[in-house]
Each structure stands twice: as C-alpha cells, then as structure tokens.
Structure 1
Amino acid sequence: MEKIEISVLIPLYNEDESLSELHDWIKKVMEEHDFSYEILFVDDGSTDDSWNVIKGLQAKNPKVRGFKFRRNQGKTAALQTGFNASNGDVVITMDADLQDSPEEIPELYRMITKDGYDLVSGWKQKRYDPITKTLPTKLFNAVTRSISDIYLHDFNCGLKAYKSEVVKNITIYGEMHRYVPVIAKWNGFGKIGEKVVQHQSRKYGHTKFGLERFINGFLDLLSITFVNKFGRRPMHFFGSFGFISFFFGTLITLFLIFEKVYCIYTQKPFRNVTDNPLFYLALVAIILGSQLFLAGFLGELFVKQNVDKEDYTVSEEV
C-alpha cells in the first residue's frame, strides 16, 4: 500500500456547488508539491446533490474517498468518522465552502513534519463573516483561552493540521469539534501552533450554522472541562461541594440546638426550631450535601468498573 503523506478531511452538508472546484484546487496543490495524498469527503446527510458529486469525483480520482451519513449528525461526527478512516501521516481538515484555501496545506504540513507541532490551528485574521458571527466567536475564544491555557485566536477555524497520532488517540462527540485543541492538550499533545491563514468570502450557498451553536458550544466547553478534570476522580468534585454543604448545614443545626439549650437554661423565651428559617436552610444544606456525596460514590464505582478498559496514550516504548 502506498504511503500517504497527507489526508485532507472535508466534512460537508449541502455543498454540491463547491465540491468539484475544491477537489480540483486540492489536486492541483498536491501535484505541484508532489505529495502523496487522499481526500476524504464526509457527507453529513446532505439533501442536495452532494453525494452524487462525490461519487463522480471518486470515479475520476481514486484518491478520493467518500462517506455518507443517513441523516445529519453534525460536524463533530463527520470529523470523528474521517479521523478514524484517515491513513495519512498528517491530517488536514478544511471546510467545503471554499472559504479555506488549499494553498495553505504545504506550510501546515511543514509545520507538523519539520517544526514538530502536534497540531496547528488556522487563524483567520481577516474575516469575511457578519458581525453577528465574529463578535460571539471572539467571546468564546477568550473564554476558551482562559479555561484551557492554550493561546489560540480562533479555536473554531476549520483549517487545521494534525499528526496522525493525535487524531487516532482522541475522541470527540456532541459539538466538540471547536475544542479539539483543548482535548488534544489534555490527552498529552501539548505542542500546539497557530498559522495566519487566508479567509475567503463564501462563493456559493449560505452558512449552515445558527446562533444556537454558541450556546451549545459553551455547554460543550463546560462538559469537556468537567470530564477531563474530574472524569477519573468524580468524588473530588462532588465530594468537595458535598462536604462544604454538609458542614455548613451541621454548623447551623448545632447553632440552633445551642440557642434552644441556652434559652432553656437562662429561662428566656424562645421560639420553636421549625419557626426559624435557619432550620430549613440547614435541612436543605445537609440533604444536598448527602446527595452530592452519593453522586461522588456512584461516580467512583462507575470509574472503578471501567478502569480496566481505560486507554492511555503511550508516546514511546523500548
């Protein structure tokens, strides 16, 4: 089997107008630089003629491979499918709408193979998107930088390059495609670079993403942050909050008991404990603390049952 240097992975949804032009552009760049390559089109349940176009391209160029979902699964699912199927030493991902330039591929490949980066993310310094898209993007990039400690300007840029080892050792789901650099770092692939890339105005069709992607993206960021920090030690998360809640509930309870005993001893008037709002606050805090402890214990049992199935990334072996 021929050694493949570059796998170009293109997730798409209803992009039949641009696919042939994109394929010819990629093919031209690859042949100019004498790269051995494959092009992977992952059709995310398109309802237009995209799949027929892909089959036509494959018939003309055996280096084209196509995958079609029965229904729309999302960009993350398309990327994961392509990651699993790729054979290249370097995997380049790019969007199908011609806003990413294949002319960037040789330099991205060099940064991976020569400079030793695990992952290189594109930065569309000059964008041709409406302000309703660029402003929320800047906000989410700032939040992601602060949480992940990865200094990238554009986490969601579709144009990225990966060592094959990276894509074979990470798993993405939900809508976590925008946080692949974060997931890669937390899996031990810490040499992450950035390259300013050309962003072109959309030539055909319209964007397939709405404002809801920002809400989903924020929730996914919280999810991967929790899973990567506490996924193997859930008691550290639930137990900490459970202890704090239970401790303060117990303190309030002791205060109420002391107050009543003191009033009886000094023969001062006192009200029933149940008439004091602090009683209900203490009750809620103790119950909540107990439930958090229980959630932690159940999480630890689940982790223990699955520990034998855990996969760890081994970088070298002698």
Structure 2
Amino acid sequence: MKLSVVIPAYNEEESIPETLKSLYNTLQKYGIEHEICVTNDNSKDNTEAVLQALQKEIPTLVYFTNKGPNGFGYAVRYGLERFTGDCVAVMMADMSDDPEDLVKYYNTMLEKDVDAVFGSRFMKGGKVIDYPKLKLYINRVANLIIRFLVGIKYNDTTNAFKLYKRETIEGIKPFMSPHFNLTVELPLKAYVRGYSFAVVPNSWTNRKYGESKLKIKEMGSRYFFILLYCMIEKFFSRGDYMKKPSRK
C-alpha cells in the first residue's frame, strides 16, 4: 500500500530540510513505498528554493506551489487533490510530528484494515513537549466540547496528524475549511459518515524555528462553524452522506 504524506509549508525554509530528511530516512528504513507531497503555500521566504534543492537528495519528494487562495486548509486541500498513494497522512513542516509515529499509523491501518488512523497526544503512550500552557488549556477544553456535542470518544480531534485511506478522503468531500479548522473537519466528517478508525498514541514537539501559524483568536468561530456543520449533518441529514457498504 503506497503511502502519501501531505505537508503544507508557508515560510518554512529553516524547518523543512530536517523535517523532510527525517521523514524520508524513516520511511526508507522500514521499506515503505511512499511519496512526500509538500504544498508550498505561496511562501515569501526561500522555501521553494529549499524544496528544489532537497529534491536532489530525496527522490520521493514532490512539491506544488499554491498561488492562492492561501491558508493552512487551502494548502492541505491542494495536496489532498494531488496525492497518488492508497492512503494519505497530513503532517506538519515544523518537526512537531514524529515520523516513527507515522510508521505506527501505517502499520495499524494495515493490521486492522481501518479507514483512518488518528493519533492522540493525551492517551497512555502519548506526550507533548514544550506545549504552551494557554494553548494546552484551550486544546483540552475544545476537545471536551467536541466530544460532548458530537458524541465521539476520541480525545484529540484537533490534532492535525492523521492518516486516511484514499477512499475515506473521497468519501468526506467536499472540504469547506480554508484554515486550521480543516484539522477538525476531516476526522469529524469521517466519524459522522461512518468510516472506521483506530486511535494510537503519538508525540508532539513544539517547533524549533519560526512562529506558529495558528492564531487562536482568529480560529475560534471557524472551529465552531465546522463543529456546528458536522453536528447538523449527524443529526439532520438522515444518513445521506454515510459510507456506502463495499460490494464483495
């Protein structure tokens, strides 16, 4: 099963080399057929030049430049329309996600034959390193609200680092989120539409370079919009968008 990894990148010239080299070396070590798809989200620094240079070292690296509209969600969606694998993971460009966890996701998908694999930083075996205290508090409150309103038992919906089968991605379209609320839209739609998933622990490490692109004040209403949308679909759509049974 070919694995695609979609990575959005905006002004990540400092972080992207270490991120991509570590990811490639890890996937090569385990012999996993893959492609690494980076969406350069119209960066204003030297991200594109760095990606061009890295292609000489990383044969599985492809990159696209999203001229616009721009934003985290648009960048991820750009990659999700262009990957070629049988399954696709969304990872960050800032070294916050561990490639060893991705291998764990991939093996879990193979072993359990689930439609998606979600990571949790807040279950046994998961961990966060240098997580800002205010963001951590908001994260836990937001996930508690999501669990209560949607009825999902999973405790880390806002975690962007997840793995989906190609059929799952196709089944949860169309995507609506232009920004970081896409991280909530993807798993909640998969849950509401009846796709199976497994949860495994993963780690998260705060970025070494640059600043986080997530602005909490700007995102609150956007997260709520997507949460409300998924609730409306769950309770009022009469199953119109549910996963169709496979024919055998």
Shorter-chain TM-score: which interval? 0.7 to 0.9
Give the match for residue 35 of structure 2.
38
Give the match for residue 67 of structure 2.
70
Distance 1:225 1:74 in 2: 24
Displacement after TM superposition at 1:64 (Å) = 1.1
Give the match for residue 229 of structure 2.
223
Distance verdict in 2 for CA 1:311–1:210, change over 3 Å: closer
Give the match for residue 182 of structure 1.
188
Q: Which has the higher helix share?
A: 1
Give unpaired runs (5+ residues) of structure 2: none
Give unpaired runs (5+ residues) of structure 1: 234-309
Residues 164-173 or 68-77, more deviating: 68-77
Give TM-score, length-normalised by structure 2.
0.87
Distance verdict in 2 for CA 1:75–1:229, change over 3 Å: farther
Match of 1:6 among 3, 8, 13: 3
Distance verdict in 2 for CA 1:166–1:67, change over 3 Å: same
Residues 129-138 or 79-88, more deviating: 79-88
Residues 23-32 or 119-128, more deviating: 119-128
Displacement after TM superposition at 1:131 (Å) = 1.7
Distance verdict in 2 for CA 1:71–1:151, change over 3 Å: same
Greater gyration radius: 1
Match of 2:200 among 192, 195, 198: 195
Q: 2:157, 2:183 within 8 Å by CA — same for their partners in 1? A: no
> SS state of the match for residue 17, structure 1?
coil
1:161 maps to 2:158: no
Displacement after TM superposition at 1:227 (Å) = 4.2
Which fold has the larger relative contact order, with Cα–Cα distance below 8 Å and residues 6 or more apart in sequence? Answer: 2
Q: 2:193, 2:241 within 8 Å by CA — same for their partners in 1? A: no
Match of 2:176 among 163, 173, 176: 173
Mapping of residues 94-109 of structure 1, within 5 Å: 94-109=91-106
Residues 57-66 or 144-153, more deviating: 57-66
Q: 1:122, 1:160 within 8 Å by CA — same for their partners in 2? A: yes
Q: 2:6, 2:38 within 8 Å by CA — same for their partners in 1? A: yes
Distance 1:177 1:129 in 2: 18
Match of 1:20 among 17, 20, 39: 17
Q: Which has the higher strand share?
A: 2
1:58 maps to 2:55: yes
Q: 2:192, 2:230 within 8 Å by CA — same for their partners in 1? A: no
1:207 maps to 2:212: yes
